[in-house]
Amino acid sequence: MTEQEIDGIAQSFVDAVERCKKIGFNFIDIHGAHGYLIHSFYSPLSNNRTDEYGGSLKNRLRLPLRIARTEFGRKLGEAKDPDRPGYQVPFAERVKKDVPDVVVGSVGLITSPQQAEKILQDGQADVVFLARELLRHGDFPIYAAQELGVVVKPANQYERAWTRMMQPRST
């Protein structure tokens, strides 16, 4: 990919964000993980470039930060201790503080209903995104409702299985 093509990709992200805002999207997830394009730039495993977009971490982050700065206009900080629960919540909280009119979601080792609810109640994020927890624990939404005392009415087509689904899980 040439530097001119990279410029075009960065502009495409900016244009997409502007289109989403124009038509009324409440939030936008610029996905920079799991091997997609942005991730391939900052990962030393996939970025073998020898120009200003490769080599050092600073260079590998050049495109992702360029895209983020275009929207937010400032550095979001550096990740610290990515193995602790909710390790990405401070980033969401910072974005929410700096850009209060944007709906902000958070990810990063959110593994319990109480933890997710606290993030929302404390105003650290407007939305909690779950990924690995839903793979590990496919009935997490039902479990969360039980744990938080929320009554959930199943879709009519699922009612006959609902009794079994609402039984406590064995671990």
Domain parsing of the chain, residue ranges = 1-75, 78-171
Provide CB contacts within 8 A for 160, sequence distance 6+: none
- Residue 169 pLDDT: 64
At residue 75 the predicted structure's pLDDT band, cuts being 50, 70 and 90, is very low
- Residue 70 pLDDT: 66
- Residue 29 pLDDT: 75
111/85 Cα distance (integer angstroms): 8
Whether 41 and 63 have beta carbons less than 8 Å apart is answered as: yes
Residue range 49-73, pLDDT digits in tens: 999 999 999 999 999 888 877 655 4
Whether 7 and 66 have beta carbons less than 8 Å apart is answered as: no
Task: Report which secondary-structure segment, H or E, holds 37.
Answer: helix 37-42
Beta bridge partners of 106: 128
- Residue 77 pLDDT: 47
Q: Check pLDDT > 50 for residue 79.
A: no
Is the pTM higher than 0.85? The answer reads no
Q: What angle do CA 67, 68, 71 make, to 5 degrees?
A: 95
Q: Check pLDDT > 50 for residue 93.
A: yes
